[in-house]
Amino acid sequence: MRPAFSVLFLTTLIGAGQGLFIALFLCELLTSSPLPKNFFVIGTALVLTLSAMGGIASVFHLGHPERAWRAMTMWRTSWLAREGIALPSFMAAVFAYGIAHWLNFGYTLAIGTVAVVLAIVLYICTAMIYGAIKVLKEWAHPMTIVNFMVLGCASGTTLAAAYASFAAPALTVILSQAAFALTVLGLLTRSASLWRNATLRPTSTLQTAIGIRHPRIVQTSQGSMGGSYNTREFFHGKSIRFVRGVLLTLLLCAFVLPLALVLILPLLAFILQYLGLLAERWYFFAEAQHPQNLYYQGKS
């Protein structure tokens, strides 16, 4: 599939924001000593900034952004519509959580619990936009949801460790250790999905795609002089060497380098991890092989 860069930024930004909020909430829930009020107020502002940036990025892959609100009316059948409802709902709960801390309103644990539940719902909705497409076997698997959640929580916790190093140094070590553990878990889950996708065997062949039983078929033209919607939207158009380079980049930047740096330089670890997750999300799209590519293999 062809990766849309607006979607890459959407899923990685809101995923990191969700992970950051979950980390902040767990700090409040599990830490016995009182924390500075501004730690949560500024932290929720960071969450809202990431979420808003992701929402803005999502507009750029819409043909008619002014009609985007109509997508939410299809919430009964569309995971995209459910994501469109879950994202502002999550942001509203996060905003209420930050205001409650700022005004010493109380009930922050109750509001935070609602926001965490909405964060998990948002992870599921975002992942199921792709996991529900049965024809793409690389996506139609529970590992899609697992990776969206684990990688989002890993990047968000790494950001939380970087933020704590400035705002609440006492939490830096525990958050860095949590980020390290989640990054290791992300490496394991993403490696498992990479191995699974690399060993998939297509249920269709070129022979079944065009209804010809000859054992050797070679396509020399797709029937037109140039590209078409099919060749543009259902294939990334990059060389095998480029795709392998992206794979190496995601392994190094999303996992190996953050693991080496998160305990000592969490901010640098987050920057590298986020760049690696952009590469990971690009590869997520590129490794999905649409069955129509059995026919549209080349152009004259």
Tens of pLDDT along the chain (300 residues) come to: 777 888 999 999 999 999 999 999 999 999 878 888 899 999 999 999 999 999 888 877 766 666 666 777 878 888 999 999 999 999 999 999 999 999 988 899 999 999 999 999 999 999 999 999 988 889 999 999 999 999 999 999 999 999 999 999 999 999 999 999 999 999 999 999 999 998 988 777 777 777 888 888 777 666 555 667 777 777 777 888 999 999 999 999 999 999 999 999 999 999 999 999 999 999 999 888 877 776 665 543
Sequence-distant (≥ 6) Cβ neighbours of residue 226 within 8 angstroms: 299
C-alpha dihedral over 269, 272, 274, 279, to 10 degrees?
-150
Helix, strand, coil percentages (3-state) for the chain, rounded to 5, are 75, 0, 25
Whether 179 is in a domain gets the answer yes
Whether 299 is in a domain gets the answer no
Q: Which amino acid makes up residue 119? A: A
Which domain range does residue 212 map to? 5-294
**Cβ-contact 1, 236 below 8 angstroms:** yes
Handedness of CA 2, 5, 8, 14 (dihedral sign): negative
Residue 300 is predicted with a pLDDT of: 36
Whether 131 is in a domain gets the answer yes
Handedness of CA 231, 277, 50, 117 (dihedral sign): positive
Whether 177 is in a domain gets the answer yes
Residue 88 is predicted with a pLDDT of: 95
Whether 300 is in a domain gets the answer no
Q: Which amino acid makes up residue 222? A: Q
The structure's pTM equals 0.90
Q: What is d(CA 112, CA 99) in angstroms, rounded to the nearest whole number?
A: 11
Whether 15 is in a domain gets the answer yes
Residue 235 is predicted with a pLDDT of: 77
- DSSP code, position 68: G
As for how many domains the chain has, the answer is 1
Backbone angles phi, psi at 212, to 5 degrees: -120, 130
Residue 226 is predicted with a pLDDT of: 63
How open is the CA angle 276-279-285, to the nearest 5 degrees? Answer: 145
What's the CATH number where 49 sits? 1.20.1630.10
